[in-house]
Amino acid sequence: MPCPEPVLETERLLLRPPQREDYAGWAALGRDEEAMRHLGGTKTAFDSWRHFLANVGSWHVLGFGPFSVIRKADGHWIGRIGPLRPEGWPGNEIGWTLAREAWGQGYATEAASAAADWAFAVLGWDEMIHCIAPDNHASQAVAKRLGSSRRGPGRMPAPHDQEAIDIWGQTRGEWFARRAPRTA
pLDDT (average), residues 122-129: 97
Pairing type for strands 127-132 and 165-171 reads antiparallel
Higher-pLDDT residue of 72 and 162 is 72
Number of domains in the chain: 1
Domain assignment present for residue 2? The answer is no
Res. 13 pLDDT band, cuts 50 70 90 = very high
Alpha-carbon distance 99 to 30, whole Å? 9
Q: Is residue 3 part of a domain?
A: no
Least Cα distance to 120 among 171, 183, 73 occurs for 171
Residue 40 lies in a domain: yes
Cα 147–Cα 173–Cα 39 angle in degrees, nearest 5:
45
- Is residue 125, in this structure, part of any structural domain at all? yes
146 lies in some domain? yes
SS3 state at 150: strand
Q: Which residues sit opposite 128 in a β-bridge?
A: 170
pLDDT for the residue numbered 16: 96
Residue 41, pLDDT > 80, answer no
Asked if residue 184 belongs to a domain, the reply is no
Answer yes or no: is 140 within a domain: yes
Give the model's pLDDT for residue 48: 86
For 57-106, write each residue's pLDDT tens digit: 999 999 999 999 999 999 999 999 999 998 889 999 999 999 999 999 99
Per-residue pLDDT, averaged over 40-61, amounts to 86
Domain that holds residue 114: 8-179
Residue 42 has pLDDT above 80, yes or no: no
Amino acid at 107: Y
Answer yes or no: is 12 within a domain.
yes
How close are the terminal C-alpha atoms of the chain, in Å? Answer: 42
Alpha-carbon gap, residue 160 to 38, rounded angstroms: 11
The mean per-residue pLDDT over the stretch 142-163 comes to: 92
> Between the CA atoms of 111, 114, 119 and 122, what dihedral angle is there, to the nearest 10 degrees?
-140
What per-residue confidence (pLDDT) applies to 1?
A: 41
Distance of CA 49 to the CA centre of its chain: 18
Q: Which residue has the higher pLDDT, 99 or 35?
A: 99
Residue 105 phi, psi (nearest 5)? -120, 5
Q: Which helix (H) or strand (E) holds 103?
A: none
Residues 6+ apart with CB under 8 A from 150: 140, 143, 166, 167, 168
Write the CATH number for 12.
3.40.630.30
